[in-house]
Homo-oligomer: A and B are copies of this chain.
Amino acid sequence: MIEVEVKARVNDFDDVKGKLNEIEALKEKTEHQEDIYFNNIQLRDFEKTDEALRIRTTTIHDQKTIILTYKGAKLDSDSKTRKEIEVVVEESKNAGLILENLGFKPVETIKKDRTTYSYKGFIITLDKVYKVGNFVEIEKEAIEGESFKDTLDEIFKIYKKLGIENGFERRSYLELLGIYNKNLM
């Protein structure tokens, strides 16, 4: 399974929300996500290997779901395919402590408010990422082996409908937060 996804930085969500209303996109949910990323440079530096180890706590109406995720390196640069393994854990603190005792250090925490819409088989998320900014992401699952070009074209057509024609961003929130943190030093 491959995800075709594009994200764009926006100033605020007011215009976008109006446009989403106009095209009758369906608002699915609003949630708060807190992602703790771990690294163990003694083992191997995930920043260099393009892997990720993450504990994500998602809160919807005081209901918390915690997921431990390993992401492998991207298998090729075009498709962005990567191995992803998830398991739900009962709580974040002890899951993190076990990782720390295995030598993994929490290196970064990303907090965001995410509102998710669905529209014609696409998922549109409005992410307010603390210290990083506001982003609109549009994604669709693609079938392996197929050309992504048609899907990408459709994604950019939706961006146009939402009044977004620039600000596209290929870097991850983790990379962008890293740049933000470096600028503070």
Contact = CB atoms under 8 A, between A and B. Distances in A.
A163 interface: no
Contact of A90 (B83, B89, B91, B97): B89
Number of this chain's copies in the complex: 2
A45 B40 CA distance: 17
Nearest to A87: B94
Contacts of A72: 101
B83 A101 contact: yes
A103 B69 CA distance: 15
A122 interface: no
A86 interface: yes
Contacts of A136: none
A53 interface: yes
B88 A89 contact: yes
Given A42-B43, A103-B43, A98 B87 contact: yes
Nearest 9 pairs between A and B by C-beta?
Answer: A88-B90, A87-B94, A70-B98, A87-B95, A85-B97, A70-B101, A85-B98, A87-B89, A89-B89
